[in-house]
Amino acid sequence: MAGLDIAFWTLAVIGVASALTVVLLRNVFRAALSLVLCFLAVAGIYVSLSADFLAAVQVLIYVGAISVLIILAIMLTRDVQRGSLSNKFRIPAFFVAILFLGAVGFAVCNTPWQIAGIAPQEPTTSALAGKLFGEGGFVLPLEITPVLLLAAILGAIILVREK
């Protein structure tokens, strides 16, 4: 158990520190890179929770695809080194952020967190496959979500397309 505790605290500190770095750094490119580190730390926490499939998917989707797209978008922007982050919404944004933090903190403190009594399932892949494709599974929601995403992507393309 001690090993798991060490792993959790290391990953948690790395995750929170890199998340703070994302917000505080002026250099947007470095901020994106620390976001990658944050995603990796979250994947590590999934591994320590015996959710190996979820960890691999987290790395594949977030590190391999989403961060790459974020970095690509950053490469197309100007003033990356100095950053032009401040604008006139600074003070309203501060209040909204404080409000959000308060709401999340309240929710976390007041939720009765339950600890499962049974050991985690090994291997996870077949259990997940059963949930997805088995009797009474989630195939239909799974198939509807991509259609929704595809519609959103098409809408975005139509909105930004030049005539």
Q: How far is the CB of 134 from another protein (least distance, A)?
A: 15
Q: Which is nearer to another protein, 48 or 124 (CB)?
A: 124
Q: Which is nearer to another protein, 65 or 151 (CB)?
A: 65
Is residue 28 within 8 Å of 83, Cβ to Cβ? yes
Q: How far is the CB of 82 from another protein (least distance, A)?
A: 13
Interacting residue ranges for another protein, rule: CB under 8 A: 27, 29-30, 33, 36, 52-53, 56-57, 59-60, 63-65, 67-69, 71-72, 75, 122-125
Q: Which is nearer to another protein, 105 or 121 (CB)?
A: 121
Q: Which is nearer to another protein, 18 or 67 (CB)?
A: 67
